[in-house]
Chain A
């Protein structure tokens, strides 16, 4: 029964993620921990496997459109993978409250990032969907590598601690500070997520924090959901979906904060 619910949960997270361009990982860990009663480290482990699955599936599409900057991605992966491996190793020193607080903060940050674009996430991504064969990318030269590497280290560290992809950190940094076109920044962030999550997932797996009976149904659901979401994206009124996603994120953040307060009072 839990298996079926996990497939359904993964399906919706993958579906929303593909529609809005925000990875579903940010929804998975808190829902698994709060509503399925799965211990937080096993929730993170299962979420990491799901995140790797979506990254592999979606970045293979981006790569075929030639919108991914593999060199830039590889360079920043030095930092994301290192950050992810280190925090995956150290996660045992963080107690549940610290992780939940950090997660609530990240959910609020991501929700506000989405809102500040007022649901414009999708139209910008659509460019790459519409122009399939000859995607026109203006020439660019990535700048400020030290800043990009520092931000990637933070994104990787959060990925290893929370079981997320970290797109809401990497995409704006590449786009605003590193002079990378948004389409390329999105594709490259997606590309990096698989390696980043794998760096921490290997540590989680060896520690026994990835239980296949949670991870497999979740990954299957996420895979199906993101395929369908990517296919239906042009036909769905995205603004409604974005507000739905933001609503879920605020709800989860609030739930986490209440959970924390209850522990202290």
Chain B
């Protein structure tokens, strides 16, 4: 049965996503507002930090879930999560494709 009720598991993963979404929103907003007053690389750098954190959020979510599965000794899903993590890292390790 795949549907196991684990309120704590759900809550931890939910917090990771929430912190990521709200954190990135405020960082990107700060960059946009800064951009209204300042021209140059500082607002763009702030926005870039927000975008990169947004890209990192799902990766962190997979790492956290992987850790939780292994902690529960749920090996099957621990390895599946690790597999997802490896696939996510493919883009970082391998080339960038055709321009």
Q: Is the CB of A91 within 8 A of B97?
A: yes
Q: What does the 1/0 interface line of B6-27 toward A look like (CB < 8 Å)?
A: 0101110111011011101100
Given contacts A56-B58, A212-B50, 8 further A-B contacts (CB under 8 A): A49-B55, A53-B54, A63-B10, A63-B13, A66-B10, A70-B9, A75-B80, A89-B97
Q: A3-B35, A141-B2, A142-B2 are in contact. Are A66 and B7 (CB under 8 A)?
A: yes
Bound: A56/B17 CA distance, A: 5
| CB-defined contacts of B13 to chain A, threshold 8 Å | 63, 70
A77 on the B face (CB < 8 A)? yes
Nearest chain-A residue to B25 (Cβ)? Answer: A223
Q: Is the CB of B57 within 8 A of A194?
A: yes
Bound: A217/B35 CA distance, A: 11
Bound: A215/B47 CA distance, A: 9
Question: Secondary structure at chain B's binding surface: helix, strand, loop or mixed?
Answer: helix
Bound: A95/B53 CA distance, A: 30
Q: Is the CB of B51 within 8 A of A64?
A: no
Q: Is the CB of A88 within 8 A of B14?
A: no
A55, A137, A215: most-surrounded residue (chain B CB, <10 A): A215
A264 on the B face (CB < 8 A)? no
Which of A71, A197, A198, A210 meets B77, CB within 8 Å?
A71
| CB-defined contacts of B73 to chain A, threshold 8 Å | none
A173 on the B face (CB < 8 A)? no
Interface residues of A (CB under 8 A from B): 3, 7, 49, 52-53, 55-57, 59-61, 63-64, 66, 68-72, 74-75, 77-78, 81-82, 85, 88-93, 137, 139-142, 184, 194-195, 197-203, 205-207, 210, 212-213, 215-217, 219-220, 223
| CB-defined contacts of A71 to chain B, threshold 8 Å | 2, 4, 77
Shortest CB–CB separation between residue B75 and chain A, in angstroms?
Answer: 13
Interface residues of B (CB under 8 A from A): 1-5, 7, 9-11, 13-15, 17-18, 20-22, 24-25, 28-29, 31-32, 35, 44, 47-48, 50-52, 54-55, 57-59, 61-62, 65, 77, 80-81, 83-84, 87-88, 90-92, 94-99
Shortest CB–CB separation between residue A191 and chain B, in angstroms?
Answer: 9
Q: A59-B17, A212-B51 are in contact. Are A92 and B84 (CB under 8 A)?
A: no
Q: A53-B21, A66-B7, A223-B21 are in contact. Are A207 and B99 (CB under 8 A)?
A: yes
Bound: A213/B4 CA distance, A: 42
Q: Is the CB of B80 within 8 A of A74?
A: yes
Shortest CB–CB separation between residue A201 and chain B, in angstroms?
Answer: 5
> Closest 4 CB pairs between A and B?
A92-B98, A202-B91, A63-B14, A216-B47
Shortest CB–CB separation between residue A163 and chain B, in angstroms?
Answer: 14
Bound: A92/B95 CA distance, A: 13
Which of B10, B50, B58, B80 meets A195, CB within 8 Å?
B58
A59, A78, A198, A207: most-surrounded residue (chain B CB, <10 A): A198
Nearest chain-B residue to A137 (Cβ)? Answer: B3
Shortest CB–CB separation between residue B44 and chain A, in angstroms?
Answer: 6
Which of B2, B31, B58, B91 meets A216, CB within 8 Å?
B31
Q: Is the CB of B94 within 8 A of A89?
A: yes
Nearest chain-B residue to A156 (Cβ)? Answer: B87
Q: Is the CB of A219 within 8 A of B3?
A: no
